[in-house]
Chain A
């Protein structure tokens, strides 16, 4: 390496031997700091694992098949939370995906540029609204509306009789499919409200990924379809969506990951009850909501450990879901975007 004669004022005099040593030191420093990420990940598994060990040791795999969650008797089974998490997430996903894709189509295909940008930005802001704010809004605005509907609907004597028979069934510990649609409480909180607010919260994740992949569909794809005499909708449904399908799927799975771990908004509105799918309009719980609602108050070690086991389950669930989403998105991020 030759020493240039002219040197800038900021350039320190570094002989090459020294520079290679400092290069090495810099690399080690950067690697050490970057390893904190790996360390946090490993520590998470270790700490969650060791904290949930007592519960796993006590209940084994029965933890995941036992329906009873009873802190007083010291019996902990996670069926109610697992079904609650899956039902709220999957139903919210099913409602939000068509809406998200439609809004992505609007932004990418229909709206003129002056409208597309602000609408796209508004949709992204939906992702920036904190979970507690969604929870507050759902609790103060939507819950009273739902509550009024529930009460109004069951004022009719025939329906009231249905409610009474369901109530008797519930009290005796059984239920029917029909009773699932009868409110067990009338305050508006419950599974349905959790699904509504989750739907709104995960919309922007699918929408923004869908918008990006729709924009990546080659223009020729559209033009070829138009040249065949297709209408705009035919172009969208037969040329654009099939082409973008896999990428949109990545966004859907990303949204699923969000839904599974969404905590406070759900904890505030789901009406913390550990019944297994008792009523669509009554208390339920998800894994995240139980952690938020019970971990702070849990006195017994076994109760705490059981709550942490829910956290560990949630951890692995989100690792898997996010990994799959990244895989799909990475596979499909084609030439051109990066």
Chain B
């Protein structure tokens, strides 16, 4: 971007050594700082590959964690739990998030619009653990720990992310497309559902994937909602495990075997999250 002007540095006069030195020093420091910023990501990834890859085998996907102190086992309970809860969370996240996005973008003159936008923005910054406390008081106090409660907490966390991306993508759909639909005599709701939404579908899917990648790694809101379960559980009204929960328990456990599973789980989780964000990014690039 700056290549055209980069060579335009003083042509006639020579640069004083002090200024030249300062310029080079700051350039070097900026490069060094960038390396420092990127280093943890690379270190974490290679650490997890070194420590966790060995534990990823068939057992890892098909068995539940061995009792503390024994060897073997896998994280099947956590993988299944995560899949179930993320699917249920997406229902809340997509339904409310996309509707919210439609509301903000298609009804800009509605008196409630500024309130919804502000609250959605603010909700996006609420710590996940606090959302866990809210769902605990709302659901768990009466019905006990359950996969439903965990999904609800994750869904609430997804909502504002989906709202924001949906609104942004819908605004990219040209106004003329809407007018063309209305000119054909289509009512506004059909224009929105059949013309505007399909035109923005790619972007919305990207937003949902990014939101999923965000909440897939959350353990904090699940601590007091889904709680965890050392057995495979397909009943969402019972306590349910999740990958980040198992990683948390394993990493803070005193047993080598649990720690080993936690590292393998972390490797799996981080790989899935990176792939999802990579795919989402690719998709939005092409747009």
Contacts and interface: CB of A to CB of B under 8 A. Distances in A.
Contacts of A222: 2, 5
A20 interface: yes
B217 A119 contact: no
Given A41-B123, A231-B19, A233-B26, A264 B36 contact: no
A331 to B, nearest CB: 14
A311 B37 contact: no
B41 A295 contact: no
Interface in A275-299: 288, 291-292, 295-296
B133 A48 contact: yes
B100 A136 contact: no
A26 B8 contact: no
A75 interface: no
Contacts of A177: none
A335 B20 CA distance: 36
B251 A136 contact: yes
B126 A44 contact: yes
B219 A322 contact: no
Interface in A192-240: 200, 203, 207, 219, 222-223, 226-227, 229-234, 236-237
Contact of A131 (B5, B41, B187, B217): B217
B160 interface: yes
Contacts of A130: 216-219, 244, 247, 266, 269-270, 273
A264 to B, nearest CB: 5
Interface stretch (B61-69, B112-120, B230-238): B112-120
B115 A141 contact: no
Given A121-B281, A125-B277, A322-B122, A132 B185 contact: no
B189 interface: yes
A1, A27, A128: residue with the most chain B Cβ atoms closer than 10 Å: A128
A268 B171 CA distance: 42
A37 B100 contact: yes
A150 interface: no
A229 B16 CA distance: 12
B58 interface: no
A14 B182 CA distance: 12
Nearest to A122: B38
A34 B270 contact: no
A24 to B, nearest CB: 9
Contacts of A4: 184-185
Contacts of B248: 132, 135, 264, 268
Contacts of B10: 229
B37 A139 contact: no
A317 to B, nearest CB: 9
B125 A48 contact: no
Contact of B189 (A26, A98, A141, A326): A26
Contact of A133 (B23, B119, B188, B270): B270
Looking at A10, A126, A130, A135, the one whose CB has the most chain B CB atoms below 10 A away is A130
B122 A102 contact: no
A1 B106 CA distance: 22
Interface stretch (A156-164, A166-174, A254-262): A254-262
Interface residues of B, number: 102
B127 A263 contact: yes
- Interface size range on A against B: 35 or more
B173 interface: no
A36 interface: yes
A133 B266 CA distance: 6
A185 interface: no
Contact of B125 (A40, A237, A296, A318): A318
Interface string B123-163: 11111111101101110000000000000000010011001
A322 B124 contact: yes
B108 to A, nearest CB: 13
B284 interface: no
Interface in B258-286: 259, 262-263, 266, 269-270, 273-274, 277, 281
A194 B44 CA distance: 16
Interface in B176-199: 184-190, 192-194
A91 interface: no
Contact of A203 (B27, B37, B51, B262): B37
Interface of B: 1-2, 5-6, 8-10, 13, 15, 19-20, 22-23, 26-27, 29-31, 33-34, 36-38, 40-44, 47-48, 51, 95-96, 99-100, 102-104, 106-107, 110, 112, 115-116, 118-131, 133-134, 136-138, 156, 159-160, 163, 171, 184-190, 192-194, 213-214, 216-220, 223-224, 244, 247-248, 251-252, 259, 262-263, 266, 269-270, 273-274, 277, 281
30 contacts: A12-B190, A14-B187, A23-B188, A23-B189, A31-B103, A34-B104, A37-B100, A37-B160, A41-B123, A44-B126, A103-B34, A103-B38, A106-B34, A121-B281, A123-B37, A128-B214, A128-B217, A128-B274, A128-B277, A130-B273, A131-B218, A132-B244, A132-B251, A133-B44, A200-B40, A232-B6, A233-B27, A263-B129, A296-B224, A326-B121
